[in-house]
Amino acid sequence: MTIATAEALPDLNPHSGLSQVWTERYTGALMNTFGPPKRVFVRGEGAQLWDADGNRYLDLFAGIAVNALGHAHPLVVQAVTAQLTTLGHVGNFFATAPQIALAERLIGLVGARDARVYFCNSGTEANEAAFKISRLTGRTRIVATEGGFHGRTMGALALTGKSALRAPFEPLPGEVTFVPFGDTAALEAAIDEETAAFIVEPIQGERGVEPAPPGYLTAARRITERHGALLILDEVQTGIARTGTWFRYQAEAREHGGWQPDVISLAKGLGGGLPIGASIALGRAAELFTPGSHGTTFGGNPVACAAGLAVLYGIERDDLLGNVQTIGARLHDGILALDNPALAGVRGAGLLLAVELREAVAPALAEAALNAGFIVNPVTPQAIRLAPPLILTAAQADEFLAVLPRLLDQLTPGSD
């Protein structure tokens, strides 16, 4: 693959030809929930995308950490195609083989025989299910973290620690107390015998890829267990090998006695591009849902579950856990090695990283990157989020590292 250099950055024009036509049709037909699209894509392959005008991009965002195996991966294509030729949907009065097999695989990856799985369609729905499971304990108080993000439906939004997102839709489902993320003392003070659950992300993705401090999740397990509260881990963004282990919490839990949470929320990378979510409940939490207490029409759809099985198989077959660790370290260390004055550091784990900036120029940097053919995300004003497909190669990582200095220099006052 040809590596782009600082002297030869492309200047892509997304507002000519077919892209412009499709953008106008988009704004005339869809609600304005996301603003005008930055690009109109028509094809993908691996970690690459092409827009309607034929411009090529390196995808370092994977549809918000969704496309675990990249675009048009043969395993996913074959699994979905084969499933559609036999059975597309039956509804949850009945079962299908992919649904059962995927649940069994997830339980095996968690490593707990007393676990059970509830399938849904997104991370928000997975957290809604976890919220309802907590209510079935007979308690109603929830503790969540400031800066956390758990979804946009009313229940998941109530757990989200961003007042700007919550305020337009209040009043929301109640009795949610927010504590500073990573503050064990504050958590200790907030949880008592009336607390139903504590919900937390091992890495706060939407806050700017902020990892929990070492030992924080273990302390949360100890505190919740002492008070009889559930520990809900939102692994929607960090799960399914994104950080170099199947689930992020496992990296810490294995060093502290092998503890387990009560509920794990999953989505994003699980379907490799198809909409699927899952709530994995363990121990007593696994028995709280009973017939009629919750449900969804499309949850456990055999096509989505077939895709999920293909994703898990591909991760294992191609040792993508190892690739995530290797390429994640290559990106992390390569960015730090640039020693650019605009950079403040790198945080995160595996292939969920944030490029920290000294100034609030992340939107401008993301726009410059897009114009140069690289898709990144300005997750906060001072941080760029990288969440590429797990199949990202060393050459593709180096392609981005070669261009990043020029992108940063474009933001420096007085630069050419």
Q: Is 296 annotated as a binding residue?
A: yes
Residues 6+ apart with CB under 8 A from 90: 96, 302
Q: What are the φ and ψ backbone dihedral angles of 228, each rounded to 5 degrees?
A: 75, 20
Q: Is 396 annotated as a binding residue?
A: no
Instruction: State the residue for tokens 């008592």.
Output: 192
Under 8 Å between Cβ of 240 and 280: no
Q: Is 237 annotated as a binding residue?
A: yes
Q: Is 152 annotated as a binding residue?
A: yes
Q: In 257-392, where do the E strands start and end?
A: 263-266, 277-282, 343-349, 352-357, 374-375, 377-380, 383-386
Q: Is 380 annotated as a binding residue?
A: no
Q: What is the CA radius of gyration of the chain?
A: 21
Phi-psi bin for 410: left (phi > 0), alpha (psi -120 to 50), beta? alpha
Distance from C-alpha of 4 to C-alpha of 345, rounded to nearest angstrom: 23
Q: Is 234 annotated as a binding residue?
A: yes
CA atoms within 13 A on the CB side of 285: 29
Distance from C-alpha of 289 to C-alpha of 309, rounded to nearest angstrom: 24
Cα-Cα-Cα-Cα dihedral of 43, 45, 47, 49, to 10°? -20
Instruction: State the residue for tokens 């043969």.
Output: 74
Q: SS3 for 133? A: helix
Q: In the numeric block, which tokens belong to residue 292?
A: 């009629």
Distance from C-alpha of 385 to C-alpha of 353, rounded to nearest angstrom: 6
Q: Is 200 annotated as a binding residue?
A: no
Give the DSSP H/E element, type plus range, for residue 63. Answer: helix 62-65
Residue 213 DSSP label: P
Q: Is 177 annotated as a binding residue?
A: no
C-alpha distances out from residue 162 to 32, 177, 209, 347, 386, Å: 21, 12, 15, 21, 22
Instruction: State the residue for tokens 């997102």.
Output: 165
Q: How many CB atoms lie within 10 A of CB 356?
A: 20
Q: Which of 357, 370, 375, 354 is nearest to 412 (CA)?
A: 357
Cα-Cα-Cα-Cα dihedral of 88, 91, 94, 100, to 10°? 60
Q: Is 41 annotated as a binding residue?
A: no
Q: Is 400 annotated as a binding residue?
A: no
Residue numbering of the annotated binding site for pyridoxal 5'-phosphate = 123-124, 149, 234-237, 297
Residue numbering of the annotated binding site for N(2)-acetyl-L-ornithine = 152, 296
Residue numbering of the annotated binding site = 123-124, 149, 152, 234-237, 296-297
